[in-house]
Amino acid sequence: MPLAAAVECLDPDAALACALADDLDRAFEALVIAYRVRIVTFVARMLHDDARAEEVGQDVFVRAYRALQAYPAQRRETLRLRPWLYTIARNLTRNAFRDAPPFADSLDYDDGNPSAALIDEAAAPEDILLRSEAWQSVDDAVARLSTAIRPAFVMRYLDDLSYDEIAESLDQPLGTVKASAHRGLLAVRAYLENNDG
Amino acid sequence: MGESNFGALRTAPNRPVAPDFTAQVFTRIGLDRYVTAASAIGEVFVAWRSGGVSALRIAGDAMTFESWYGERFGRRVVPAREEDPISAAARAKLGGDEVEVPIDLGECSPFERRVLEKAAEITRCNARPYGWVARELGVPDATRAVGNALGRNPVPLLIPCHRVIRTDFTVGGYVFGSETKRTLLEAEGLDFAAIERVTRGGFRYVGDDDDGTFCLPTCGTVATRVGSPGFVALRSVDEAHAHGLRPCSTCRPIAA
């Protein structure tokens, strides 16, 4: 076995992609089991609506299945499942957003120049986030982020996607997603500070 | 402060999904799942979708089952990786628990559905003739159609079509064979030797003088009591009326 193939087998997503390429119908449940909680949680944070999250979460997997059906086996095999599923989730929550406008009191401002907000992350004191055990407050803060930066913040800081994966999911340049995630972090931190105790 | 210090944030609680989340997705994409479960007649395949259990067959070659399923229902069925509330309920019921199991009869005709729902009312240690089901449904001439509908029961055992027998109280046909049907009914408590002793003499009912009622010989264990004081075999409803007996409210013998 070539080394690259051996390494790929260690990655559960790569193994899952191979299984989906081999027999989509038989492997699909494994994809749903692996990602349903993450995707529904992500959708709930995007929509700030638990009731609709379930339905839109289902939509994500239905959309994923239809897309996989249409892909040739070779494309399925090489698919990076995580960023790909987040792309679908992001697109479907954007559609859902059109029905329900976000909070008027958005936490972050948009000066049209995201890179201006790009600060060295190493210097950002996010102790308050680490201390915060009131996750409801975090979710409330997330709900107040604008739709422009919310996905990048949630993917990076709550869902632990790499910047590469986020850039791929959102189809945005790396610098943009880094700036968005960081601006989200500052805004959430400010919200938690103001609502602490 | 470096990236690694965001660890706590990444333990943000996830939102749990509903127990039927996967079944809802699978139903929407037209894909059903199945598990293997133990039953009174050995291992069976149980297939289900979000509406309920859609099929039950004796376990055997998976490919044969899957292709039968595709032909019958026009949908693909794949082995399930995990249990959900519907498959768990089916497994419990097949294991002998008294639980409600949702059934999906979406592929059945309205008449087939009525026949199967009537069969589902027949409790353990009981059997009713095909003609009884036809009369209960208000279509007394449709005995043969009732038999055909029961023969197409997609979920034997879960809907106990084995409890519907021939009008002469012999067991009649069954999707898994007559022998299996008789074994099942006897395991549930019916005594066919006793039933045959009654019917061989041309008797169709059993009267209970103490109760003042008369029954079909397949109503519980009534056939085993014939010959003991107070129990009498009867040839006709007229004969029962002559004894001053009224029909049992459980087996409703007039309908037979």
Interface predicted TM-score (ipTM) of this complex, two decimals: 0.82
C-beta pairs of A19-27 under 8 Å, 24+ apart in sequence: A20/A68, A20/A76, A20/A77, A20/A79, A21/A73, A21/A74, A21/A76, A21/A77, A22/A73, A24/A65, A24/A68, A24/A69, A24/A76, A25/B31, A25/B76, A25/B78, A26/B78, A26/B79
Burial of B4 (0-12, 13-18, 19+ CB in 10 A): exposed
How would residue B254 be classed by pLDDT, with cut points 50, 70 and 90?
confident
Q: Measured between beta carbons, which residues in chain A are less than 8 angstroms from residue B66? A: none
Quote the distance between the C-alpha of residue B226 and its chain's center. 28
| Domain map (residue ranges) of chain B | 12-94, 110-187, 192-255
A151 vs B82, B145, B185, B187, CA distance in Å? 31, 59, 61, 60
Q: What is the pLDDT of residues A59-98, one digit of tens each?
A: 999 999 999 999 998 899 999 999 999 999 998 988 766 5
Q: What is the DSSP letter of B31?
A: E
Catalytic residue among B161, B215, B219, B251: B161
A194 vs B69 pLDDT, higher one:
B69
Check pLDDT > 50 for residue A1: no
The whole-model pTM stands at 0.81
* Distance of residue B133 Cα from the nearest chain A Cα, in angstroms: 40
Q: Which pLDDT score is estimated for B57? A: 97
- Interface probe with A: pick from B3, B17, B75, most Cβ of A within 10 Å: B17
The answer to whether the CB atoms of A29 and B78 lie below 8 A apart is yes
- The predicted pLDDT at position A141 comes to 86
Arithmetic mean of pLDDT, A149-160: 89
To the question of domain B12-94 being in CATH 3.30.160.70, the answer is: yes
Per-residue pLDDT band at A117 (split at 50, 70, 90): very low
User: Inter-chain contact B29–A62, Cβ cutoff 8 Å?
Assistant: yes
Task: Please tell us whether the domain made up of B192-255 is placed in CATH 3.40.10.10.
Answer: yes
How many residues are present in chain B?
A: 256
Q: Is B245 helix (H, G, I), strand (E, B) or coil?
A: coil
CATH architecture entry for B110-187: Orthogonal Bundle (1.10)
- Amino acid B210: pLDDT: 87
Residues of chain A in Cβ contact (below 8 Å) with chain B = 25-26, 28-30, 32-33, 36-38, 40-41, 44, 50, 53-54, 57-58, 61-62, 65-66, 121-127, 129-130, 135, 138, 157-160
Assess whether B161 carries a catalytic annotation. Answer: yes
Question: Is A148 exposed, middle or buried (CB count within 10 Å of its CB: 0-12, 13-18, 19+)?
Answer: middle
Numbered residues of chain B with Cβ closer than 8 Å to any chain A Cβ: 1-3, 5-6, 8-10, 12-18, 21-22, 24-26, 28-29, 31, 33, 76, 78-82
Answer yes or no: same fold for B110-187 and B192-255. Answer: no
Nearest neighbour of B17 by CB, restricted to A29, A54, A126: A54
Q: What is the pLDDT of residue A9?
A: 58
Residue A131 pLDDT exceeds 70: no
Q: Which residue of B has its CA nearest to A125?
A: B1
Shortest alpha-carbon distance between residue A2 and chain B (Å): 30
Percent over 70 (pLDDT), chain B: 95
Q: Does the beta-carbon distance from A157 to B6 stay under 8 Å?
A: yes
